[in-house]
Amino acid sequence: MLGRLLLSRGYHSTKGVFGSRPRPTTRYEGLGAAVLEKRNANSNVYRWIEAYRNHGHRVASIDPVKFWPAADEPAPGEKLPELQYARYGLGPGDRIDPRGLLNVPAQQQPLTMAELDRLLARLYCGTCSIELGFIESEEEREWLAGRYEQLFQHETTETERRELAELMLKSQAFDQFLAVKFPTVKRYGGEGAESMMAFYWELFRCAGEHELSNVVIGMPHRGKLNVLTTMFGTRPAKIFKKFKGHPEFPADAQAMCDIASHFHTSTDITVGGKTFHLNMLHNPSHLEAVNPVSMGKARAKQLAHADGPYDALGTKRSSVLNVQVHGDAAFPGQGINQECLMMANVPHYEVEGTVHLIVNNQVGFTTPAERGRSTRYVSDLAKAIMAPVVHVNGDDPEALAGVTKMAIEYRQKFGKDFFIDLNCFRRWGHNELDDPTMTNPLLYKVIHARESIPDRYAQRLIAAGVLDQQDVDAISKSHQNYLNAELQACEQYEPERSYFGKQWAGLQQPGDEVTVWNTGVDYRLLAHIGEESVKLPEGFTVHPHLQKTHIDARKKRLAEGQKIDWATAEALAIGSLMLQGFNVRLSGEDVGRGTFSQRHAMLVDQQTNEIYIPLNAMAAAGPNAGRFELANSILSEEAVLGFEYGMAIDSPTSLVLWEAQFGDFFNGAQIIVDTFLVSGETKWMVCNGLVMLLPHGYDGAASEHSSCRMERFLQMTDSRETTPDGDTVNLQVINPTTPAQYFHALRRQMIRNFRKPMVVVAPKTLLRLSDCVSPHGEFAPGTHFLPVLGDPEHGGRIDPRRVRRVVLCSGKHYYTLQSERKARQVDDVALVRLESLCPFPVQAVRDELSKYPNAREFVWSQEEQRNMGAWTFVQPRFENMCERRIQYRGRPEAATVAVGVSQWHVRESEEVIKTTLY
């Protein structure tokens, strides 16, 4: 299979590492001699059957509102050429025993060609059809064809039909109720897609049958409120109160709230005596952005349960299921979906198979289907990973339930993704206040002329004697009465506290002050961790260059204790957190080695290609130690960052870090940053401690890769310009200048009793700069992250009474200024480093300024352009709260980050230094 082939070519090909165990290779023994003999003896018949399996979907009746024939559709009364049995040398007088050719009952009698044709047409050209031809694995194709044929010869019981009808009628009643009671509210209802209730109905039954522990769902707004209130246990009173303009959280929550169609749920569901936990995530209006978040959250659940990829034995499928619901225009149109699919079988990102439901409205906002993609089906992206696809007509909820059962069985057996394309329609426009006939008149002529999906199904059951009209009316009336009661009760409804429970117990939203946390560690322990971080097993062949520059050099630094570099400090922070029981996950492109070949937390045997992570060997010695997961990612930012955010919101005891290959690469994930990372807590009371490492620094490399665009992150913070910040800021932005500062910042993320995301403006050239080192005393117990670093020459070469100018700066730029100041013997300029930009360290800055009583000039110096960097953030805060004017020294305004001519770059750099110091 594809996933196994890829694993055999990559790292940890046989042994695996924490978070990635190679899937056991099972040999498919084939079909058996009897089946092969039957197929060989009836080869023409089998070719005809295979044609139905491969081409039947092209003429299947999967569109409930068809008004235009497909381009390759045969004329009425004609058959697709590939499906005509005469093409295979068969005649109307032939009689065929289908056993061994089709999955039919054992007692099946030989069929005439007409009977077999009708059976095949019913299976593959009816209201449901499967695509199989693109799947390479014979084992999977045989299983899928056999299971599919078995399902669609199964009769749904009367009890099951009544349950399906009741759910769809309730969904319809909910939408009709809202249309009357809240006619001006956009609700993005489920009208036209009510059969999705059958999907969730069967999903819940299968969850119990397969003893799943968790189901994690990412779903957009279409029909979400219907599902929440009809099946997921959300009280309609909560929705109604929100529609009336009230918040969804208790009064003491520090939240700005969100719209109802972005709501989530976290609840236990019991079906058939079996209970599982259901999580439906909050979603932003950016369609499909929630998908990688749901994958990351599912992965975090697997970590918590030590199952799936984290199950050392690997004896059973993960009990955590990821489900993604897509829109038909968004799924092929949004690139994040391809990114997610490309993660599906990648080590450290796989979740052992996702079940996908595409709610195919056949129109996106106002765009008709044929203008929304270049493929036949909305689901065709699935073919990239050879995931099975079944197309279902929304008018057939029984077929949808059967396919859902098959999807979960396939996931449980093969650990791979499965797609269901539910062809339905949208009763109204993009929302209920929109008129869709302006742009799609013929489609909506068909839609408005037909009855609803629940009513059509109910009529089928009435005709079959399963229900009568009184039953149908009673179901709708009863639900209307329930909704009326909930509407009456909504004024008394008090929002529940849905946060800081379970794994988040003991954590909280912080107070309105900046707290200090002791993050120092005894150096004897740190030296041990450092030694372990480069310790290799016997017989491991390390790259000779790394032996000298990484392993031997680190041991030397640790022994001396005075020159701890950036990569070593990072290893010490990670290792010490692991020994305290925290898991650490570092994700991104080539993070095992590090973009700048500085980290080497993952070493590759030069003879066997096996990888080894030394810190995990150290952790294995302690029963309560955490583990270190190094996740070399696909070349993706948006989906990967969304995945890591999902891990972080579910696992507060894990330090989750995402490193961009260069700082500006984060902009490929801007949607995740905007809609989840910086606003998730204030919108949804969902906290996270995700750390973004963004390499930054002007080195003459032109526009790309020079800047991490820190100005964008600073603009996205809720830092205040006129009053001091506290720990309540939505986003921490730091630009640390020493390895010890980085060490303390990482440890602080986990030691504190709250979680906030953090952007680290990370170094490039500082990784190997001889001056950018820290002595062991700066890691000692009692030490902590310092938001401001004063001038190291204060009281020495720099006499504070003679200082005329105080220069504030941040990051790498400090070393440039310090080097020039020392070389030119400038002794009347003090250099003060802002290590924390947000929260803005007002009091610490004031304390530093008080050391220089005769200073009359205060300067902010940066290497970035004036309209970039931290200048526009620092200036108002400094002037308003430090009560001094501050001048700018740096590059002028520009449209791009940096010049592309090296001579210009050097000239600009010299000018910045000159105007800053002289």
Residue 791 has pLDDT above 70, yes or no: yes
What band does 143 get if pLDDT is binned at 50, 70 and 90? very high
Cβ pair 731, 674 in contact under 8 A: no
Residue 770 has pLDDT above 50, yes or no: yes
User: What pLDDT score does 462 carry?
Assistant: 98
Listed residue (302, 233, 292) closest to 265, CA to CA: 233
User: What pLDDT score does 4 carry?
Assistant: 43
Sequence letter at residue 155? E
User: What pLDDT score does 10 carry?
Assistant: 63
pLDDT, tens only, 696-707 = 999 998 899 999
pLDDT, tens only, 361-388 = 999 999 988 889 999 999 999 999 999 9
pLDDT, tens only, 188-240 = 999 999 999 999 999 999 999 999 999 999 999 999 999 999 999 999 999 99
Q: Cα separations (Å) of 129 from 61, 78, 317, 374, 692? A: 9, 19, 27, 21, 44
Neighbours of 197 (CB within 10 A): 30
Average pLDDT over residues 95-105: 90
Measured distance CA(729)–CA(53) in Å, rounded? 57
Sequence letter at residue 311? D
pLDDT, tens only, 488-512 = 999 999 999 989 999 999 999 999 9
Measured distance CA(377)–CA(366) in Å, rounded? 18
Any idea which fold 158-495 has?
A: Rossmann fold (3.40.50)
Residue 358 has pLDDT above 90, yes or no: yes
Q: Cα separations (Å) of 597 from 492, 580, 759, 762? A: 60, 28, 21, 14
pLDDT, tens only, 835-874 = 999 999 999 999 999 999 999 999 999 999 999 999 999 9
Residue 817 has pLDDT above 80, yes or no: yes
Residue 563 has pLDDT above 70, yes or no: yes
The per-residue pLDDT of the chain, averaged, comes to 94
What band does 1 get if pLDDT is binned at 50, 70 and 90? very low
Cβ pair 379, 389 in contact under 8 A: yes
pLDDT, tens only, 633-658 = 999 999 999 999 999 999 999 999 99
All CATH 3.40.50.970 domain ranges in the chain, comma separated: 158-495
Measured distance CA(809)–CA(863) in Å, rounded? 9
Measured distance CA(835)–CA(855) in Å, rounded? 22
Average pLDDT over residues 666-676: 97
Q: Are strands 654-659 and 691-695 parallel, antiparallel or unpaired?
A: parallel
Assess if CATH 3.40.50.620 describes domain 789-917: no
Cβ pair 346, 302 in contact under 8 A: no
Residues of the chain by 3-state class (helix, strand, coil), percent to 5: 40, 15, 45
Residue 3 has pLDDT above 60, yes or no: no
Residue 334 has pLDDT above 90, yes or no: yes
3-state SS, one letter per residue, for 199-225: HHHHHHHHHHHCCCCEEEEECCCCCHH
Tokens describing residue 765: 């050239």
pLDDT, tens only, 542-559 = 999 999 999 999 999 999
Average pLDDT over residues 321-350: 96
All CATH 3.40.50.12470 domain ranges in the chain, comma separated: 523-785
Cβ pair 353, 416 in contact under 8 A: yes
Buried/exposed code over 60-80 (b: 16+ C-beta within 10 A; e: otherwise): bbbbbbeeeeeeeeeeeeebb
Q: What distance lies between CA 387 and its chain's CA centroid?
A: 20
Measured distance CA(78)–CA(62) in Å, rounded? 18
pLDDT, tens only, 153-200 = 888 999 999 999 999 999 999 999 999 999 999 989 999 999 999 999
What band does 2 get if pLDDT is binned at 50, 70 and 90? very low
**Assigned CATH for 523-785:** 3.40.50.12470
All CATH 3.40.50.11610 domain ranges in the chain, comma separated: 789-917
Tokens describing residue 551: 């392993």
User: What pLDDT score does 154 carry?
Assistant: 85
Cβ pair 418, 407 in contact under 8 A: yes
Measured distance CA(743)–CA(523) in Å, rounded? 13
Average pLDDT over residues 800-807: 96
Share of the chain above pLDDT 90, in %: 89
Is cis: bond before 781, omega within 30 of 0? no
pLDDT, tens only, 264-305 = 999 999 999 999 999 999 999 999 999 999 999 999 999 999
Cα-trace Rg, the chain? 31
Residue 65 has pLDDT above 90, yes or no: yes
Sequence letter at residue 80? L
What band does 6 get if pLDDT is binned at 50, 70 and 90? very low
Listed residue (836, 915, 840, 835) closest to 878, CA to CA: 840
Residue 44 has pLDDT above 90, yes or no: yes
Average pLDDT over residues 125-151: 95
